[in-house]
Amino acid sequence: MAALRRNRVKHKLQDGKLAAAVMGPMSANLADFIGPLGFDGIWFEAEHGEVDYGDIPNLSRACDLWGVTSIVRVNRNVPGIIYRTLDLGAQAICVPHVNTADEARAIVQAAKFHPLGVRGITAGRWAFGVENALAKANDETLLIVLIEDIVAVRNLPEILSVDHIDVFYVAPGDLGQSMGYLDRSHPEVRATVERALGQIVASGRVAGTLVTDATVNGFLGLGVRFVTAGWTPWLTAGAEGFLAKVR
């Protein structure tokens, strides 16, 4: 019998290590290209991007080829959306706008089988050929909640009390908007992000956030252990450098 796919990001975080995922426009072929580069996870966008249910099997298969965690950000905290995304092969779920402990607990209930939750019983492609797959699934399912509203920051101590959430990810864009700023680099937004990350780290939970080449070292210095970065700025920088030489 086959073994259940190991969730690389989840186990690295459980071992106290850092994990990095790449995000941006994605196809299965692009995910296959990124696979051997060394990232721990690939983030697929089903909230703001083009990813739909029919895309998830091949996107996650491309990740499986390289032992990279397939992460799907869904668009709502709805049980059917969460467990259907997992059924189709995603190893990790990222849920936006988690503002209360009850909302965080609802994610656990939707994503985990008994005894941790009430995820709808089925054995999707992730379980093919795996003996006792349902009993093993909880150990390989990664849950990420987005702290992206000022109300979530205010409720953070209660949200952090919810077990079986793997990453508490502070997202600066919508957080800034909820504070009245469209510029995520505004000093008040940056201070709020850093304060929230500090609370997460101090609680002993895993903090995550969006980084760039310029900011990654600073966030790692704050104790952040899960970072994501978009690949499009790297393409832009490379193209600009090349064209400057040509011109």
Mean pLDDT of the chain: 97
What per-residue confidence (pLDDT) applies to 124?
86
Structure tokens at 19: 């994990």
Q: For the residues 84-105, what does the mean pLDDT come to?
A: 98
User: If we measure between CA atoms, which residue out of 176, 177, 212, 228 comes closest to residue 44?
Assistant: 228
Task: Give the dihedral sign, CA 71/94/201/227.
Answer: positive
pLDDT digits (tens, 9 = 90+) for 197-241: 999 999 999 999 999 999 999 999 999 999 999 999 999 999 999
Confirm whether 48 is a catalytic residue: yes
What per-residue confidence (pLDDT) applies to 77?
98
Distance CA 75, CA 10 (A): 22
Structure tokens at 46: 């089903």
Is 8-246 a domain of CATH 3.20.20.60?
yes
Contact yes or no for 175/147 (Cβ under 8 A): yes
Task: Give the dihedral sign, CA 48/27/112/202.
Answer: negative
Distance CA 6, CA 91 (A): 9
Per DSSP, 138 falls in state: G
pLDDT digits (tens, 9 = 90+) for 104-140: 999 999 999 999 999 999 888 899 999 999 999 999 9
Q: Whole-prediction pTM value?
A: 0.96
Distance CA 97, CA 242 (A): 39
What per-residue confidence (pLDDT) applies to 138?
97
What per-residue confidence (pLDDT) applies to 238?
97
Strand 41-45 with 19-23, pairing? parallel
Residue 171's pLDDT band, with cuts at 50, 70 and 90, is: very high
Of the residues 11, 48, 97, 164, only one is catalytic, namely 48
Type of residue found at 213: D
Instruction: Give the CA angle between residues 147, 25, 79 to the nearest 5°.
Output: 45
